[in-house]
Each structure stands twice: as structure tokens, then as C-alpha cells.
Amino acid sequence: MKAFVLDRYGKKRALRSADMPSPELRDGEVLVQVHAAGVNQLDSRIRDGEFKLILPYRLPLILGHDVAGTVVKVGPRVRQFKPGDEVYARPDDFRIGTFAEYIAIKEESLAIKPKALSMEEAASIPLVGLTAWQALIEIAKLKKGQKVFIQAGSGGVGTFAIQLARHVGATVATTTSSANIDLVKSLGADIAIDYKKDDFERLLQNYDVVLHSQDAAALKKSLRVLKPGGTLISISGPPDPAFAKGIGAPWFVNLIVRLLSSRVRKRAARRDLRYSFLFMRASGPQLREITSLMDAGAIRPVVDRVFPFESTNEAMAYVEKGRAKGKVVVKMR
């Protein structure tokens, strides 16, 4: 099968177009023919070697964390899917590889794609949708009437998280550029802050939840906009001990993680806040919840550009610029 392969870690290193063996199905797995694949900053960060300690992949590696496609074969003991089903997923860590013609995915990580969405639209959803769901619903337990600050509202996670928070009934604040103010407001943001002109710390106070996705300076400020008892969830780090424990990291990684996050955890504790690092995980059941919301029209996909599969490296370079509105997708067929 055709695939884009990472042979060696390296910053901005191009993936190699190659013919690779088709995946072999394990028990409980489903073989999916890829129609479209989402492109994420996570792909670039893995390529650059940022996650070598916590995700020690064996190279060569096929990248890609979002997929929409058609089931072509099911493995032993698979009960929920059959050939011909149109599905979407965020494959499990160590089973990624959606930049290819086929991928094998665990049954429990897969879901039927939303009926109204094209394959390209469906491929834009899993990683950002699950990130927003696990941050706002699972960890923060966001409720109607609460206030949530979602950073980078016009990005992939931001465009989904704003809509999810609005659906819950929360008051939503976000940051974006002046060019994207109308976009984030159309998605449900009550307060849209131009990050080039205004400091969110001066405009926001007494928030229940912050979804942090920016740098260390924004992380420090985020603690100060939360009220006592509030929750700060970061998807950009630093990782915390709970995360290291959850992935079964070796002792030295646990030690490194504990040291990296010690400052923010101490600051949070002094203000009676909870700090949590989120590295989202695959989940078919949560994707089915997301499908219900999309089929009901509560959340819509936001796709910036669709690249042909042969331009996967160009798609990754475009995402790395950090200016995409919503998601970027590569189209296989």
C-alpha cells in the first residue's frame, strides 16, 4: 500500500512516500480503507522527536492520527462492524498510521461516521473532538452556567471546544486574531479577545475552567483568571505525574515529568486550583457521543483546506504555521 513514512526523527524532516505492507489484523481489530486523514500538530511533534521518551515508537513509522474510511475486513471477535461500514477514528497510540491506504484499528476505538458529513469532514473530527470531550466533559465536568476560557479558538481543538462548551450551556471566552473574531463568535464564543491587541488576563476573571494550548507565559496567566476551586487543563504541557502514571512510564520518565510540572502544580495548589495535563486517548464510545451531537446539528466541522494525499508533507508544513482555521485534511480517494 502507499504510505508516508518517517525514517528518522528530525525537525521539519520530510516524510518519505513509500510502498509498505498492508496491516495485519489482530484479534478485535478492523481493517479500514482510508478515504481521508486529518493532519495535526501532534504529527509534526512526533516527527521532530518531542515525544521519544513517552512514546518510544519503532521506526520506520507511518504517521497520522485521524481517519475516515470504509471497513474492508474485520478480525476475530469483532461484533460491532462489518465490511462496507463508513467509520472514523483516532487510532490508539502505537497503532497510528492514517497517512496510508489502509490501517488496522481496534474495534473499541472506532465509530460509525456522522451521516451528514463527507469523509473529509469526518476525518477532521476525531483527535480534536476527543481532546475537547476529555478536557471539558470528562476532566472539568463542565456544567451549564459555568465560565470557560478556551485558548486559540480558531484552531482545530478550539473550534470544536467552543461548540461543545456552548452546547453544554457554559459562557465561553476565547483568544484569536482579529481576522477570526467573526468565526469564533459564529461557533458560540461569547467573548472573543484579539490576542495581538489585548491581554486576556486583564479582561477575564473568576473562570471555572481554562483549556490551555499555548506557551508557558499563557499558562502562568491562565492560573490568575481562574476562581478558587477552578480547573486548568493543558494540552501543551508540562505533563504531570498523573499522566506519567496513566501511560505506565518508567521511573526516570516519572521523575522528569514530576520536575517539569512542579512549578505549575505548586502555583495551582497555592490558589486552590487543579492542574491537569491531557494527552488525549482513543475512544469509540466517546466518538459515538460526538457523532450524536454532530448528527443533531449541535456541532459542525470546520475544515480549512483539503490537500491531495501526495501532498501530505505540504499539508503538515501548512499546519505547522499555526494559521489554519479549524482542521487540515489529506484526501486519499
Q: Model confidence over 284-298: pLDDT tens digits?
A: 999 999 999 999 999
Residue 225 exposed, middle or buried by CB count within 10 Å (0-12, 13-18, 19+): buried
Q: Please report which confidence band the pLDDT of residue 333 belongs to, taking 50, 70 and 90 as the band edges.
A: confident
pLDDT digits 0-9 by tens, 218-232: 999 999 999 999 999
pLDDT at 230: 98
pLDDT at 243: 86
Average pLDDT of 133-152?
98
Mean pLDDT of the chain: 96
CB-CB contact of 273 with 230 (8 Å)? yes
CA gap 265, 258 in Å, rounded: 9
Give the sheet arrangement for strand 16-19, strand by strand.
16-19, 2-6, 61-62
Q: For cell 492560573, name the residue.
A: 223
CA gap 224, 267 in Å, rounded: 10
CA gap 234, 192 in Å, rounded: 20
Q: Please report which confidence band the pLDDT of residue 209 belongs to, taking 50, 70 and 90 as the band edges.
A: very high
Average pLDDT of 159-188?
98
The helix (run of H) or strand (run of E) holding residue 6 is strand 2-6
pLDDT digits 0-9 by tens, 229-270: 999 999 998 999 988 888 888 888 899 989 989 999 999 999
pLDDT digits 0-9 by tens, 31-76: 999 999 999 999 999 999 998 888 899 999 999 999 999 999 999 9
List the chain domain ranges: 2-125+301-331, 127-277
H and E: helices and strands count for the chain:
11, 16
User: Which residues, in sequence order, are CB contacts of 182 under 8 Å at separation 6+?
Assistant: none
Give the chain's radius of gyration (CA, Å): 19
Q: Is pLDDT above 80 for 152?
A: yes
* Region at 49 (left for phi over 0; alpha for psi -120 to 50; beta for the rest): left
The fold for domain 127-277 equals Rossmann fold (3.40.50)
Question: In angstroms, how far is the first alpha carbon of the chain from the final one?
Answer: 14
What phi and psi, each to the nearest 5 degrees, are found at residue 24?
-95, 135
CATH architecture for segment(s) 2-125+301-331 = Alpha-Beta Complex (3.90)
* Region at 301 (left for phi over 0; alpha for psi -120 to 50; beta for the rest): beta
The helix (run of H) or strand (run of E) holding residue 201 is helix 200-203
Q: Is pLDDT above 80 for 95?
A: yes
Q: What percent of the chain has pLDDT over 90?
A: 92
What phi and psi, each to the nearest 5 degrees, are found at residue 198?
-125, 155
